[in-house]
Structure formats: C-alpha cells, structure tokens
Structure 1
Amino acid sequence: MKAKYQSVLDLGEQLNIKNGDVKEEDGKLKIWGTAHTQYEKDLIWDEIKSVGGDNPNDLMADIKVDDNSVYAYHTVEKGETLGKIAKHYYGKASKYTVIFEANTDQLKSADLIHPGQELKIPNL
C-alpha cells in the first residue's frame, strides 16, 4: 500500500509536514500530519487524488494546517510578476491586487517586485 502512495509520502517529506506518520491498518493506508499552510495541504490532497482518484477507499488522511492566517507564502523568483503568482495560486492573474494589498508593507507598486521577496498569499 505504501508503494502506491509513495509520491504522496515523498511530497510530505519535501514539504516538511510536521508530526507526520504513516500506518497500514485494516487494508488501508493511514497518513496524518500538519502542513504549514492551506496551499501545502492542497498540494498533498492533489497528489492523493492523482494516485487514488477523487475518493480513494484504500487511504485515510488527516492533514491539519499550522498557519491559517494566509493561504501560502511565496518567494519571488526572477521573471515573476504578481499576475503570474496570482495565476499560480488562484487560477486568475487578475487577482494580483489581492496579493499586492496583503504585502503593502514591502511593496510600493504592483509592478515592482524583486527576487527573494517573501510574499503573503492571502486566503480568498
């Protein structure tokens, strides 16, 4: 069972899921832990669905979130724009204003971001 969901377990390690554990019991794989943000929890669930389908009956997962104050944190990389970042997290580039407003403590213009800046990606 672990082999089937190995990509989920690997992602959990990559994301540094806290208090994570895995147990095979009653023909099911049980996994639990705490993701840093909702975005990381969503990534885990997306991977679970890609392996086991929308409602896997051979897996039980209990993933909690440590920080509910934001959806994610994002470190700006070279060539990125707020629109590109908004498209990645929200599916719509036009949501860039939400990210800008959440980061006015460090951003003076929505058109001027720098590699290395750590941006809050707010919950919608």
Structure 2
Amino acid sequence: MTSKDKYQPVLDLGESLGIKNGEVTEADGVLKVKGEAKTPYEKNILWDKIKEIGGDSPSDIKANITVADTSVFHRHTVKSGETLGKIAKQYYGNASKYQDIFKANSDILKNPDLIHPGQELIIPNI
C-alpha cells in the first residue's frame, strides 16, 4: 500500500472541504500534501484525520495546510433542529460555550434560544 492509498481519506476530506491550491506528491514513501483551508476548524479536522490514520507523529506524511481566514474559527450555516448549545458542542466540545457564539453574532441574534435554518453564524476563536 502506498502512502497515497493509506491517506486517501485525508485527500477525500480535503476535496469535500474545498481545500484551495491543493498539491499532492509522493516520494520515498512520504506523501506531501499542501493546501489552504478556509478556517482553522477545517485545518483541525484535516489534522485529526491525518492523526487518526497515521498516529500522533506520522513519518509517512508531511502536510503544509495554511488558513485563509484566521479572524474566525469557522462559519456555520444553521440546520433544522440545531441549537447554539449543539453547535458549541460540535466546535468546542462544550455546549456551555454557546454564549461565545451568541455574543459573536449579536448583530443577527437577539435571543440565544432563537436561531433559524439558513443563518450563517460566526464561530469565534476562543
């Protein structure tokens, strides 16, 4: 199995995220991946996938993933049934961080219990 085969799920994830300026090369059993994620969150989930496959310090992949927008952690489009608590749990692992999301979106949200499908929320760096 080549490194590219081994890390194909990372490449597929990068494609589904719309990673820009992507380059993939392989030499001497090491896969070199380069590209630009939209947000720090997308960069993190790519690294999580790399570590899931290769461990915490894989030697068969070198990744240079930059971030286009570091002013926010991510931008999230609300889906039906979501709450700020569920969204906070997804991005921060802690539902009580919903207040940080509410504060970052006070221009469009007046009540943390009222969000609507289709709203684009800023998920702030905290």
Q: TM-score, length-normalised on structure 2?
A: 0.97
Q: Output the amino acid matched with 2:25.
A: K
1:33 maps to 35
1:93-123 CA distance string (max 9 Å, x none): 1100000000011101001000010000000
Q: How far is the alpha carbon of 1:23 from its aligned partner?
A: 0.4
1:47-67 CA distance string (max 9 Å, x none): 001111111000100000000
2:22 maps to 20
Q: Output the amino acid matched with 1:19.
A: N
Query: Which of the numbers 81, 84, 106 marks the counterpart of 2:83?
Result: 81
Q: Distance in 2 between matches of 1:13 and 1:84?
A: 26
What is the count of residue pairs matched by the alignment? 124
Q: Distance in 1 between matches of 2:95 and 2:46?
A: 24
Q: How far is the alpha carbon of 1:25 from its aligned partner?
A: 1.6
Query: Which of the numbers 50, 53, 56 marks the counterpart of 1:51?
Result: 53
Runs of 4+ in 1 over 3 A off after TM superposition: none
5+ residue gaps, structure 2: none
Q: Distance in 1 between matches of 2:81 and 2:14?
A: 28
Q: Output the amino acid matched with 1:39.
A: Y
Q: Output the amino acid matched with 1:115.
A: P
2:64 maps to 62
Q: How far is the alpha carbon of 1:27 from its aligned partner?
A: 2.2
- Percent pairwise identity: 65
1:113 maps to 115
1:9 maps to 11
Q: Distance in 2 between matches of 1:60 and 1:79?
A: 39
Q: Output the amino acid matched with 2:77.
A: T
5+ residue gaps, structure 1: none
